[in-house]
Amino acid sequence: MKAHVALRATCFLGLALRACAQIRVMSPEGLVQVFTGSKGRIEGSTATFGAPFYGERILGRLVWGDSIHNDTHCLEDDYEVPAPDSDLVSHGQYQEVRLIHIVMVRRGKCSFVTKVKVARQKGAHAVVIIDRENSQLTSTDIRRIIVADDGYGDTVDIPSLLISKEDGEVLVNFAKKTNNQVIVEMAWDVPTKHDVLMD
């Protein structure tokens, strides 16, 4: 009986400590100004698969590739993204990426896991999934959505999160401009101010 109670308590704690995913725009300054009201932050929902860095932050460049199959981002030959910038380290012994690649894809037509796997094959170190083009969901609504595993998520080794269509379109428009390098910080903060009641 005690083991059963302990298991239930662990499950409830797991739900209570769900990570709060967020993106903070670092540059360009024009894009930072767009999100001034939210202190430069974009709230999202963390995927239940992959490797979110709970309590940590990662810095990277947002990249976008237009889908040739009506925004599916479900196939490897469906879109292209630029290769990561890299430098030779220690006199040319190996390559090191200057900024990690954060690939943006559109939600729909296939599972979240499939989209992240395809982006990973294209060099993504993290993925931002933008809600469907016809979606009316706000960023508050998005935070309540579960970015679910389709049963094949155990092979995914990079973090991903879902953001609203409205926020995503702003990021895509800036990333499409060749003179704009969109730098963002991704964070997965574990809430610490919530009280957990156990009976």
pLDDT tens for 33-43 read 898 776 778 99
How would you classify the pairing of strands 86-89 and 57-64?
unpaired
pLDDT tens for 65-98 read 999 877 789 999 999 998 776 654 455 565 565 7
Residues 109 and 129 sit within 8 Å (Cβ to Cβ): no
**Is residue 62 classed exposed, middle or buried when 0-12, 13-18 and 19+ CB atoms within 10 A define those classes?**
buried
Cα–Cα distances in Å, from 58 out to 34, 161, 182, 183?
21, 13, 14, 11
On whether residue 96 sits in a domain, the answer given is yes
**What percent of the chain has pLDDT above 90?**
49
How would you classify the pairing of strands 126-130 and 86-89?
unpaired
On whether residue 6 sits in a domain, the answer given is no
Please state whether the predicted TM-score (pTM) of the whole model is above 0.85: no
On whether residue 134 sits in a domain, the answer given is yes
On whether residue 13 sits in a domain, the answer given is no
Beta strands in 107-156 (DSSP E): 126-130
pLDDT of residue 17: 41
- Work out how many domains the chain is built from and give that number: 1
What is the CB-side half-sphere exposure of residue 161 using CA atoms within 13 A?
Answer: 28
On whether residue 35 sits in a domain, the answer given is yes
13 membership: H or E segment, kind and range: helix 2-16
CATH of the domain at 52: 3.50.30.30
Residue-number span of the structural domain to which 153 is assigned = 19-189
On whether residue 10 sits in a domain, the answer given is no
